[in-house]
Amino acid sequence: MSYISVLSYTRIVTSVVFLVWYILMVSAAYFGFVEILLKFNRRPNLSNDRDENDKYEGVTIIRPIKGIDPELSSCLESSFCQNYPSDKLEILFCVDDPNDASIPLIKKLIAKYPNIDAKILISSNFDPTTNSSDDHYGPNPKVNNLAKGFVASRYDILWVMDSNVWASSNILKNSVISLNDNLNNGRKQSDTAKRTVKLVHHVPLALSVNPTGDSKDEQEYVLTPTHSDDDSETSSSSSITKSTRKRFLKNFGAKLDEMFLLTSHSKFYVSLNNLAIAPCVNGKSNIYRKSDLDRSVALMPHYQEKSEFFHDEKVVNDAKYYSSLGPGHSIKFFSRYIGEDNMIGIALWENALGKTGLTGDVVIQPLSGSDNGINDYITRRVRWLRVRKYMVLLATLVEPTTESIICGLYGNYAISTLFMNRWFTWWLFALHLSIWVVTDYVQYHVLINNIVSPRNLDYLPNWLINIPPVNRSVWNWLYMWALRELLALPIWVIAMFGHEIDWRGKPFKIKKDLTAEEL
Q: What residue segments make up the domains of the chain, in order of their start? A: 3-41+385-518, 52-200+280-362
What is the distance between the alpha carbons of residues 374 and 519, in angstroms, rounded to a whole number? 26
Task: Let me know: does 370 contact 361? Beta carbons within 8 Å.
Answer: no
Give the confidence band of 54 by pLDDT, cuts at 50, 70, 90.
Answer: low
Sequence-distant (≥ 6) Cβ neighbours of residue 238 within 8 angstroms: 225
Task: Let me know: does 154 contact 90? Beta carbons within 8 Å.
Answer: yes
CATH number for the region 52-200+280-362 comes to 3.90.550
Strand order in the sheet with 516-518: 500-503, 506-510, 516-518
Mean pLDDT of 156-172: 95
Task: Let me know: does 40 contact 428? Beta carbons within 8 Å.
Answer: no
Whole-number pLDDT of residue 224: 29
Residue 92 has pLDDT above 60, yes or no: yes
What is the distance between the alpha carbons of residues 62 and 159, in angstroms, rounded to a whole number? 6
What is the distance between the alpha carbons of residues 483 and 251, in angstroms, rounded to a whole number? 13
Residue 231 has pLDDT above 50, yes or no: no
Whole-number pLDDT of residue 235: 38
Residue 363 has pLDDT above 80, yes or no: yes
Task: Let me know: does 228 contact 309? Beta carbons within 8 Å.
Answer: no
Q: Does residue 94 sit in helix, strand or coil?
A: strand
What is the distance between the alpha carbons of residues 293 and 150, in angstroms, rounded to a whole number? 11
Which region among 86-90, 294-298, 496-500, 508-512 has the lowest average model confidence (pLDDT)? 508-512
| Cα–Cα nearest to 58, from 232, 167, 180 | 180
| Residue that wins the pLDDT comparison between 12 and 460 | 12
Give the confidence band of 11 by pLDDT, cuts at 50, 70, 90.
Answer: confident
Task: Let me know: does 63 contact 161? Beta carbons within 8 Å.
Answer: yes
Whole-number pLDDT of residue 219: 33
Whole-number pLDDT of residue 243: 44
Alpha helices, DSSP H, located in 182-241: 216-223
What is the distance between the alpha carbons of residues 126 and 105, in angstroms, rounded to a whole number? 20
Look at the pTM and tell me if it is higher than 0.85.
yes
Task: Centre a 10 Å sphere on the Cβ of residue 176 and count the other Cβ atoms it contains.
Answer: 24
| Cα–Cα nearest to 196, from 348, 329, 316 | 348
What is the distance between the alpha carbons of residues 333 and 297, in angstroms, rounded to a whole number? 8
Catalytically annotated residues: 341
| Cα–Cα nearest to 515, from 140, 49, 10 | 140
Reported in sequence order, the residue ranges of 239-342 that DSSP labels E, i.e. its strands, are: 285-289
Mean pLDDT of the chain: 84
Reported in sequence order, the residue ranges of 240-361 that DSSP labels E, i.e. its strands, are: 285-289, 354-357
For the stretch 65-86, pLDDT in tens is 999 998 999 999 999 999 999 9
Whole-number pLDDT of residue 278: 80
Residue 155 has pLDDT above 60, yes or no: yes
Count of positions (residues) in the chain: 519
CA distance to 140, 148, 287, 389, 517, per residue, from 510 (Å): 11, 25, 26, 9, 6
Q: How far is CA 170 from the centre of its chain?
A: 20
**Residue 409 burial by Cβ neighbours in a 10 Å radius (0-12, 13-18, 19+):** middle
Give the confidence band of 505 by pLDDT, cuts at 50, 70, 90.
Answer: low
What is the distance between the alpha carbons of residues 493 and 239, in angstroms, rounded to a whole number? 32
Alpha helices, DSSP H, located in 124-215: 141-152, 171-181
Mean pLDDT of 445-464: 78
Residue 245 has pLDDT above 70, yes or no: no
Sequence-distant (≥ 6) Cβ neighbours of residue 519 within 8 angstroms: 500, 507, 508, 509
Task: Let me know: does 208 contact 468? Beta carbons within 8 Å.
Answer: yes
Residue 239 has pLDDT above 50, yes or no: no
Give the confidence band of 232 by pLDDT, cuts at 50, 70, 90.
Answer: very low
Task: Let me know: does 279 contact 350? Beta carbons within 8 Å.
Answer: no
For the stretch 256-311, pLDDT in tens is 999 999 999 999 999 999 988 888 898 899 999 999 999 999 999 888 777 778 88
Mean pLDDT of 448-465: 76
Mean pLDDT of 18-46: 93
Report percent pLDDT > 90 for the chain: 53
Whole-number pLDDT of residue 49: 66
Mean pLDDT of 36-51: 82
First to last CA, the chain: 64
| Residue that wins the pLDDT comparison between 215 and 174 | 174
What is the chain's Cα-based Rg? 25
Whole-number pLDDT of residue 465: 80
For the stretch 374-404, pLDDT in tens is 888 998 888 888 877 777 777 788 888 999 9
Give the confidence band of 50 by pLDDT, cuts at 50, 70, 90.
Answer: low
For the stretch 330-358, pLDDT in tens is 999 999 888 889 899 999 999 998 999 99
Half-sphere exposure of 398 (CA within 13 A, CB side): 10
Report percent pLDDT > 70 for the chain: 82
Whole-number pLDDT of residue 228: 34
Give the confidence band of 174 by pLDDT, cuts at 50, 70, 90.
Answer: very high
Mean pLDDT of 37-63: 83
In the chain, what are the helix, strand and coil shares in percent, each to the nearest 5? 55, 15, 30
